Structure 1
Amino acid sequence: MLSGERHGKILRELELRGTLSVNEFAAKTGLSTMTIRRDLTQLAGQGLLRRVHGGAVRNASERSGEAEYRRSRQPLATLGLIVPTTGYYFPEIIRGAEAAARTLNARLILGVSNYSVEDEYRQLQRVVANSVDGILLASAGPVEPGSPTFELLAGLKIPVVLVERSSRAFESVMSDHSYGAELAMEHLAVQGHRKIALAVATSPTAPWLRDSHARMVAKLGLESDAPVMEYDRLGPVGGNNQAEFSRFLTDCRRTGTTAALVLPDEEAITLIHLAEESGMDVPQDFAIVAYDDEVAELAAVPLTSIAPPKRDVGHTAVTMCMERLAGKQGSGLTPALRRVNLAPKLIVRESSRAAEED
């Protein structure tokens, strides 16, 4: 490794962490301690760091222009971001991650698993081979002991942050989907609906919505015979499940159900069309709340929706990973894992408004 490259690594380490231990840096980079000490002496002579026993610290008197120059030359850290798709839901997460990376002088390497656990594992191997400093993962399947993804991540010595996923073993940032479903149920109940159906696509989000729906039916004293449907979407980024929703709507009419919470937006739009074709008025005869708020506003009857804070999820995940790299969280050698839940918001539109609100 050339001296210029070594010096760049040393300065990035100091910019990121504030301190550098010769022994730890040698173990991390494979450089000899003698070489590192010699480089530290040279950089100290240029006023770019201050030598201390066992290593170096960032020079507090360093001119801000020099720090800006270093940051402009090379990022402080490279993070691998792996998502199931760039076509639905995750674009906003990616944009939030990009914004945080720019602010914190990090580089993102993007991988797409296409909802395949095999592709996901290959993408993880790729970013690890590229010597990333941290990993952000929205997994295609459960991250549980025994799975290839879990075993790979558990063996790494770099920060791992799950995105819109949870695990007892790793840090995570996700939308509080339970709270989001509660907002939808409370909104519909306030409108006077006593039977609220649920239709959710099979996904990591589905269990949160199912549990919250059942809990809120009991909490709000609603009638419990409204239809609940979980279905498989026709493709990884959507599809028209018209047959399933036609049966769902028939069950709603049979049971006297007057409202529904639907995940995702596209199928809520399908439900609007089916309701109107059957002679029902939305929202007078049947109110609908969509979950995701990707295209809800574009429906023929603009959909009331639950909007997860997708951009904030991506931004927070990068920030958390960089904080872990910098050692700014926790104390001691094993700081506590953080699991951050961010609250969705309810956006009220025409599909659930009472007549007096028009």
Structure 2
Amino acid sequence: MIAEQRRERILREIVLRGRIEVADFAGRSGLSGMTIRRDLAVLAERGLIRRVHGGAVLPETADAPVTGSRGIGTSSRPVATIGLIVPDAAYYFPPVIRGVGEAARGAGMRIVLGTTNYDPREEIHQLSRLDAANVDAIMLVTARPGIEDTATWDTIAGIRTPVVLVERSPEGVPTALRVDSVRSDHGFGAELAVDHLAERGHRGVGLLLRETATAPWVALGHARATRRHGMIDAPVATAPSPRWGDGSTSDVLRAFLDDCLAAGIRSAIVLPDDLAVGLLGIAEGRGLRVPEDFAIVAYDDEIASFASVPLTAIAPPKLAVGRRALETCLMRLEQREHAPAQQVQQLTPTINVREST
């Protein structure tokens, strides 16, 4: 590593953490204490840092190294580079990515995106790839719900880079593994929907899901809330991912509506929005009035308001999840092993009431 690269790395460390301890940084970087002290002396002569006992801190002047068009914290000289691994960049995840991006720009950080295409093997590859690229931290969204995560935990244990789980449960993480977790409380979101329908006199609520990262939590919340209200058993169905020219999704929608009506159920929660819009179309095609004959609550609230009958929807706090995940990465980088792992950050969804209920 040439001298200017070392000094840039040292300066980024000071900007990120507010100070640098020579002994600590030497242990983590593999540089000798003598080399670090020489570089600190050069940076101090340039007015970029202030030497203190055992290390250095930012200068007390307004012209700190984070300022200026060529300073640390600009796009060409980010404070830190964060990897973000998502299943895909479509539908649910763009707001999460946008929230991460907004928070990263405010903190002078760069985001590097990787996708897994819902393949757990690719998740392991992306973790190793980003670690080898020397990113400062990694945010990891689940590759697929309900999978055995042992291989992922083993990979995280074998890399040097801190990892923050996003929209992923830390359940099953080995106790020796330090990981943070930020996600929406989708179980609460489902309970919010059931409570809303119960307030409107419904004594049973069907549930229609497409297999997504959020589906298992939504199903658990639906089960808790219907038991709490003493509701009658209602159909719970899973729809396949749509394929070009394949009518299987429509068949599932028709069968689900038939089962609900046969059981005397006149309301349903549907994940995601496009499936809810499809169910609305089938209900209207049969002459059912929404919400008078059948009420629908969509889960996601991406396109629910554009339905022929604007759909009441549960809105997960996707932007906030992205921002909080980035803030958690920043805290981990600032405090490193001194910061306790945070595995209980669950942000609650909201309900947007429209004409379908």
Q: TM-score, normalised by structure 1?
A: 0.90
- In the TM superposition, what is the alpha-carbon distance from 1:292 to its structure 2 partner? 0.6
In the TM superposition, what is the alpha-carbon distance from 1:142 to its structure 2 partner? 5.8
2: CA distance, partners of 1:212 / 1:151:
30
1:202 to 206, 211, 221: 211
Q: Of 302, 308, 313, which residue of structure 1 is paired with 2:316?
A: 308
Q: Measure, in 1, the Cα distance between the counterparts of 2:157 and 2:108.
A: 26
**Equivalent residue runs for 1:120-135 within 5 Å:** 120-135=123-138
Q: Provide the residue aligned with 1:186 in structure 2.
A: 195
Query: For residues 167 and 239 of structure 1, what CA distance do their matches in structure 2 show?
Result: 37
Partner of 1:341: 346
Aligned partner (choices 105, 112, 123) of residue 115 of structure 2:
112
Q: Deviations over 1:301-346 (max 9, x none)?
A: 1111000010110011001101110118xxx746243421111110
Structure-to-structure mapping, 1:222-233, within 5 angstroms: 222=231, 224-233=232-241
3-state secondary structure, aligned to 2:164: strand
Correspondence 1:194-343 to 2 at 5 A: 194-222=203-231, 224-234=232-242, 241-327=249-335, 333=338, 335-343=340-348
Aligned residues: 346
SS of residue paired to 2:67 = helix
1:9-158 → structure 2 map (5 Å cutoff): 9-59=9-59, 61-64=60-63, 66-69=65-68, 70-71=71-72, 72=74, 73-141=76-144, 147-158=150-161
Query: CA separation in 1, counterparts of 2:198 and 2:309?
Result: 20
Given that residues 22 and 37 in structure 1 are in contact (C-alpha distance below 8 angstroms), is that contact kept between their aligned partners in structure 2? yes
Residue 323 of structure 2 aligns to a residue whose secondary structure is helix
Q: Distance in 1 between matches of 2:255 and 2:145?
A: 30
Identity of aligned residues (%): 47
Change in 2 beyond 3 A, CA 1:148/1:307: same
Task: Tell me the secondary structure at the aligned position of residue 294 of structure 1.
Answer: coil
**Counterpart amino acid of residue 225 in structure 1:** D
Kindly indicate whether the alpha-carbon contact (under 8 Å) linking 2:204 and 2:267 is maintained by their aligned counterparts in 1.
yes
For 1:18 and 1:192, locate their aligned partners in 2 and report how far apart those are by CA, in whole Å.
Answer: 57
1:221 to 1:145, Cα distance in 2 relative to 1, 3 A: closer
2:268 aligned counterpart, secondary structure: strand
Q: 1:58 to 1:240 in 2, by over 3 A?
A: farther
Do 1:268 and 1:290's aligned partners in 2 also have CA atoms closer than 8 Å? yes
Between 32-41 and 142-151, report the one with greater CA deviation: 142-151
Residues 142 and 213 in structure 2, CA contact (< 8 A), matched pair in contact too: no
Q: Distance in 1 between matches of 2:241 and 2:149?
A: 27
Aligned residues of 2:266 and 2:295 also touching (Cα < 8 A):
yes
Are the structure 2 counterparts of residues 240 and 292 from structure 1 closer, same or farther at C-alpha, using a change threshold of 3 Å?
farther
Partner-residue secondary structure (3-state), 2:203: coil
Cα distance in 1 for partners of 2:48, 2:319 equals 36
Structure 2, gaps ≥5 residues long: 174-178
The structure 1 segments of at least 4 consecutive aligned residues displaced by more than 4 Å after TM superposition are 142-146
In structure 2, do the counterparts of structure 1 residues 270 and 67 end up closer, same or farther at CA, with 3 Å as the change threshold?
Answer: closer
Aligned mates of 2:251, 2:119 — CA distance in 1:
26
The AA in structure 1 aligned to 2:9 is K
**Is the CA contact (8 Å cut-off) linking 2:83 and 2:113 kept in structure 1?**
yes
Separation of aligned partners in 2, 1:65 and 1:41: 16
Instruction: Return closer, same or farther for 1:17/1:145 CA change in 2, 3 Å cut-off.
Output: farther
Secondary structure (helix, strand or coil) at the match of 2:89 reads coil
Task: Please tell me the residue identity of whatever aligns with 1:130.
Answer: A
TM-score (norm 2): 0.90
**RMSD over equivalenced CA pairs, Å:** 2.3
Provide the secondary structure at the position in 2 that maps to 1:67.
coil
Q: How far off is 1:156 after superposition? A: 2.8
Cα distance between partner residues in 2 of 1:276 and 1:285: 10
Name the CA distance, whole Å, in 1 between partners of 2:183 and 2:62. 39
SS of the counterpart of 2:161? coil
Shift of 1:25: 2.0
Which amino acid is 1:335 matched to? Answer: P
Aligned mates of 2:310, 2:247 — CA distance in 1 = 20
Deviates more, 1:258-267 or 1:224-233: 224-233
Paired amino acid for 1:49 = I
Give the conservation status (yes or no) of the 8 Å contact 1:233–1:239.
no
How big is the shift at 1:112? 1.1
Distance in 2, matches of 1:190 and 1:253, equals: 20
Task: Tell me how far apart the structure 2 counterparts of residues 90 and 318 of structure 1 sit (CA, whole Å).
Answer: 15
Contact 2:128 2:159 in 1 (8 A): no
Q: Is the 8 A contact 1:145 1:151 kept in 2?
A: no
Amino acid at match of 1:157: R
